[in-house]
Structure 1
Amino acid sequence: MVVKPNIPDESHSIWHDEVSIPTFEPLTQDVTADVVIVGGGITGITAAYLLTQQNVNVVLLDANTLLNGTTGHTTAKVTAQHEIIYNDLLSKMGYNTARMYYEANTDALHLIEELVTNYQIDCEFEKQDAYLFSTSGEYKNKLEKEYQAYENLNIKGKLETEIPFNITIENALSMKNQAQFHPLKYLTHLIQLITEKNGQIYEQTTAVDVEDSNGAAVVVTKDGFRVKANYVLACSHFPFYEGTGLYSTRMYASRSYVLAVKANKPYPGGMYLSVDKPEHSIRKAHYNGEEIYLINGEDHKTGQGQGMMEHFKNLKRFCDDIFTEGEYEILQRWSAQDLITLDKIPYVGAITKKRQNVLIATGYRKWGMTNGTNAAKLMSDIVLGNLNPYQELFSPSRFSPDPSLKKFFMENLDMAKHLVKGKMEMPRAKVEDLDFDEGTTIRVDGERKGAYKDKDGEVHIVDTTCTHAGCEVNWNESERSWDCPCHGSRFSYTGEVIEGPAEAPLQKHDHHMLDDFKFDDDSSGY
């Protein structure tokens, strides 16, 4: 009898298993620096490396531990082939914008390759051709238009008729000489180079605000300590400080899912992404000395859609299609969150026109390895006073009517819809009906609450109103978190902030202290 592969119970990224990431103490006093960087992912670490190599005094702060966020949960493709984008950019924003976007991400690939070569970084960096493929007539036509955009923009690509998997396709579009790597092995080496140049790194240090001090910028931490610097680089996925930029209204959060799969056939080479919905991607990696497949996709807006575990099940069904029965096993599973801007181009640069010494980098649209590296280079050039050809392209102050204005209204209409929907919901579940390791929404004294019973049977109850804009969060069973469908804030089952833009935790309620309240259990929810 063939045993069907199981999806692991716990979420765990493979990148953390073969790397010893150095740890650092929290900030416990006021300090000064030339530059303070907030966020210890690929952008913050690369920027810190570039600046310390120029003898700039850098302080880097991370609210958790380094490389624990999106960078530690990426699929780590190093490519300028960012889904179907160039025809879009060419038709809506013109030749120069489309060509410069390609050049910026190609430059980022070359910078990563240069550092890997110069420092002999053992990070599984290898060149691979990247492929987009379609399985329907609709997306066949879109890929043909994308190929025409490649030709117009002088991007080397080729339309092909097959890929080396058990997938019937309409066509495929290749981009040659792209790359992939182990992101944490690469960035751990950069961390070492930063500390060798006396860069100061502090973990478990949450930045909450930026104050002005006679032209200098002061980052204020949750514990009340201050870091005074000439520049602040906000590299914290969602900017920890929005100023008046309204970035939560100019982006949306999207989650996607990954399975690490061991199969009984060698990987055929290349990196692959379907452009039909839902998207699925395939790339090779190594785990415990063996070649494995990373199967990724099923993206959706954070806090919206079907149960999160259903997306892993859909990925497993995709595996069933490309592998024969009994030919593979699932080693690990995890998910990641990305931010997507109105026009698909990241925001990198001064947070507002009036705050030129507070720089942000956000909105990488699932392509953070190149976009994050390019953002680090652009911000370091601004600090150093160097000219950078991409400064206008990525400027956060841009706000063109087409397509930005239309999408601005659409995204905020979607936010309003979910705000109203959450307030109108009438949960009917009861705390006593919860199984171990199960979460749901309930009504307590007529108010919506979130309840989770952990593996030891302890019940954790929180207020489900997001502390950012008042939307109602939804339970994510695959990550055991409360996720906001409006702006993508995420909270642990105890209410602590996992991802912004929310800064304050959800209100907690002691389950035993709620005995005096009425747990609604009638059919109306009241």
Structure 2
Amino acid sequence: MNSDDKSKKEMPQYPNPYWRNSVSLPSFPKLNENIRVDIAIVGGGITGITTAYLLAKEGMKVAVIEAGSILNGTTGHTTAKITAQHDLIYDELISHLGKEKAKLYYEASNEALHFIKNKVSEYSIDCDFSHEDAYLYATSPKYRMKIEKEYEAYQTLGIDGGLLDSIPFEIPIEAALVMKGQAQFHPLKYLASLVGQITQSDGSIYENTTAIDIDEGSEPTVITRDGHRISCNFVISCSHFPFDDGKGFYFARMYAERSYVLGVKTEKEYPGGMYLSVDNPVRSLRYTTLNGEKLVLIGGESHKTGQGMDTMKHYEALESFGNEVLGIKEYMYRWSAQDLITLDKVPYIGTISSGHSNILVATGYRKWGMTNSTAASLLLRDIILKQDNPYKDLFTPSRFQADPDVKHFITQNADVAKHLIEGKLDSPMKNPENLTNDEGAVVTVNGKRAGAYKDENGELHIVDTTCTHMGCELNWNHGDRTWDCPCHGSRFSFDGNIVEGPANKPLKKVEEA
């Protein structure tokens, strides 16, 4: 690509999810008084909205509170595949949890797909819903064997799929595995309809309202940062990372990964279908529609939050892949997302811990939030209504599997200790004044480690880089202009405000002496 081509096809400068830009969502007020409801739901993503919809339809008085704007977290940054093909998972689940639980995991995801499909039909939602087959593909002999083992798991569980030796791209593969009858959609157009159903059912939604604590008891009370109280019968934490983590120690039972997406128009016609490579580096492909044309979403480049190379390099790697496979005609969007992964790769859904039957949680979707969140909402509804649900034991947050939980617990927490120590020994050489516009870095201020970002107008924003969660030292994320924690995945804006938990306090501002 010559310099003229680069000027015509320049990558978008800032993260800018297509889903958020292509739909008009209503805004909601900040909570400014004490209220009493049946159900308080913390988190306005797909889980919170779907759960609120289900419970409001049961005649319950529901309030959803969201720290920012609804549908602007992981839900607004997804690739929005509605599929039960969650990477190479079923052979592993059979090995670790047994055939029965592996089958339940598939059925929960499949039922979630059909729930979404039925709601799209029931409310005539124009959300670009389409049935697409989902494909896993391997480019190495090692992963061909894993694909073949996964196919055996499909046969054992009765999943409609098959082995293939090619996919409709110029990618040399060893093997592929198709799961038939999956789907994709525009998640925010779909959820905007459910938001309308919630408000029509007299449910309440509050934005810019941050939950910081729960007063426990027979009638729990959510306390907001502004000191307002929501009394209720049940609290449901759907805030990506549980906001009240002291009851479940989820920070030690999950880890956070970031991944990246480019939205591009391509030289070659996209053939349809949803694709995911199983080798490293992982590559994801799907399309959506933008002004009558196909917008191809190229995803991948996963890594632990706060760790790894300059984040812009991940976008550049996706760009290189897209040019090689489809040819990039025009860059439209780029964004990144954060996902939480549990010890055994199965979400935590249910009562937050033993002894807290009226505080529920849903988290750890491992990048498959469209089906896992919907399955979570259906299960949370049934728990509150005291109805039987076949998936309750599978997803219960109090479970512990000796294999692989012990191994993964030791590995993840050893990694946390490593980064905690490395961060404390770091001796930055840069001074804030040496930064160029739109540059951030770890610097020395008043003889101590700090984080500085010089914005496009040359103004410096300096913060203490010690994470307010458990004291790990943060790293600069160039791609998103954030400070990210390599230990437990907390993220902060360049001026110190919380972007992602488990941290619930902003960073301290630093003044130069």
Q: Give the TM-score category using the shorter length.
A: over 0.9
Residue equivalent to 1:523:
none
Corresponding letter in the other structure for 2:384: V
Deviations for 1:81-108, whole angstroms, at most 9, x for unmatched residues?
0000001001111101111000000000
In the alignment, the residues of structure 1 paired with residue 468 and residue 366 of structure 2 have an alpha-carbon distance, to the nearest angstrom, of 25
SS class of match (2:393): coil
SS class of match (1:99): helix
Work out whether 1:125 is the aligned partner of 2:125.
no
Corresponding letter in the other structure for 2:216: D
Deviations for 1:417-440, whole angstroms, at most 9, x for unmatched residues?
000000011111121210000000
SS class of match (2:392): coil
Deviations for 1:263-295, whole angstroms, at most 9, x for unmatched residues?
133221110000001100000111233211100
RMSD: 1.0
Residue equivalent to 2:472:
471
Deviations for 1:364-390, whole angstroms, at most 9, x for unmatched residues?
000000000010110011111211110
Work out which of the residue numbers 180, 201, 206 in structure 2 matches 1:202.
206
Residue equivalent to 2:391:
390
Work out which of the residue numbers 130, 144, 151 in structure 2 matches 1:147.
151
Residue equivalent to 2:377:
376
Residue equivalent to 2:457:
456
Deviations for 1:231-273, whole angstroms, at most 9, x for unmatched residues?
0010000001123311000000000000001013322111000
Corresponding letter in the other structure for 1:405: V
Deviations for 1:430-466, whole angstroms, at most 9, x for unmatched residues?
2121000000001223321001100111001100000
SS class of match (1:66): coil
Does the aligned pair in 2 maintain the 1:473–1:485 contact within 8 Å?
yes
Residue equivalent to 1:91:
95
TM-score (norm 1): 0.96
Residue equivalent to 1:269:
272
Written as runs of structure 1 = structure 2, the 5 A alignment for 1:203-352 is 203-213=207-217, 215-324=218-327, 328-352=329-353
Residue equivalent to 2:427:
426
Does the aligned pair in 2 maintain the 1:491–1:498 contact within 8 Å?
yes
Residue equivalent to 1:362:
363
In the alignment, the residues of structure 2 paired with residue 216 and residue 84 of structure 1 have an alpha-carbon distance, to the nearest angstrom, of 42
In the alignment, the residues of structure 2 paired with residue 374 and residue 436 of structure 1 have an alpha-carbon distance, to the nearest angstrom, of 45
SS class of match (1:6): coil
Q: Structure 1: any 5+ residue segments left out of the alignment?
A: 517-526
Deviations for 1:176-217, whole angstroms, at most 9, x for unmatched residues?
00000000000000000000000011100000011124x011
Q: Structure 2: any 5+ residue segments left out of the alignment?
A: none
**1:474 shift after superposition:** 0.2
Deviations for 1:368-415, whole angstroms, at most 9, x for unmatched residues?
000000101100111112111100000000011110011111111100
Does the aligned pair in 2 maintain the 1:26–1:202 contact within 8 Å?
yes
Residue equivalent to 2:110:
106
Written as runs of structure 1 = structure 2, the 5 A alignment for 1:175-186 is 175-186=179-190
Written as runs of structure 1 = structure 2, the 5 A alignment for 1:71-90 is 71-90=75-94
SS class of match (2:220): strand
SS class of match (1:24): coil
**1:155 shift after superposition:** 1.0
In the alignment, the residues of structure 2 paired with residue 197 and residue 384 of structure 1 have an alpha-carbon distance, to the nearest angstrom, of 18
Residue equivalent to 1:38:
42
In the alignment, the residues of structure 1 paired with residue 376 and residue 219 of structure 2 have an alpha-carbon distance, to the nearest angstrom, of 22
Corresponding letter in the other structure for 2:468: T
Identity fraction in percent: 54
In the alignment, the residues of structure 1 paired with residue 211 and residue 446 of structure 2 have an alpha-carbon distance, to the nearest angstrom, of 36
Work out which of the residue numbers 136, 146, 166 in structure 1 matches 2:170.
166
User: Which contiguous aligned blocks of 4+ residues in structure 1 show a shift greater than 3 angstroms?
Assistant: none
In the alignment, the residues of structure 2 paired with residue 17 and residue 291 of structure 1 have an alpha-carbon distance, to the nearest angstrom, of 16
Work out which of the residue numbers 23, 30, 55 in structure 2 matches 1:26.
30
SS class of match (1:243): helix
Corresponding letter in the other structure for 2:478: E
Residue equivalent to 1:192:
196
Corresponding letter in the other structure for 2:129: F
Work out which of the residue numbers 49, 73, 83 in structure 2 matches 1:69.
73
Corresponding letter in the other structure for 2:292: G
SS class of match (2:390): coil
Does the aligned pair in 1 maintain the 2:431–2:445 contact within 8 Å?
no
In the alignment, the residues of structure 1 paired with residue 450 and residue 101 of structure 2 have an alpha-carbon distance, to the nearest angstrom, of 47
Moved more, 436-445 or 246-255: 436-445
In the alignment, the residues of structure 2 paired with residue 437 and residue 368 of structure 1 have an alpha-carbon distance, to the nearest angstrom, of 33
Corresponding letter in the other structure for 1:160: L
Moved more, 183-192 or 89-98: 89-98
Does the aligned pair in 2 maintain the 1:14–1:287 contact within 8 Å?
no
In the alignment, the residues of structure 2 paired with residue 41 and residue 289 of structure 1 have an alpha-carbon distance, to the nearest angstrom, of 28
**1:18 shift after superposition:** 2.1
In the alignment, the residues of structure 2 paired with residue 25 and residue 342 of structure 1 have an alpha-carbon distance, to the nearest angstrom, of 37
In the alignment, the residues of structure 1 paired with residue 107 and residue 83 of structure 2 have an alpha-carbon distance, to the nearest angstrom, of 11
In the alignment, the residues of structure 1 paired with residue 436 and residue 226 of structure 2 have an alpha-carbon distance, to the nearest angstrom, of 37
In the alignment, the residues of structure 2 paired with residue 248 and residue 476 of structure 1 have an alpha-carbon distance, to the nearest angstrom, of 21
Does the aligned pair in 2 maintain the 1:167–1:321 contact within 8 Å?
no
Deviations for 1:99-148, whole angstroms, at most 9, x for unmatched residues?
10000000000100010011111001110000000001111111011111
Deviations for 1:13-65, whole angstroms, at most 9, x for unmatched residues?
00112211010000000000000000000000000000111111001100001
Residue equivalent to 2:504:
503
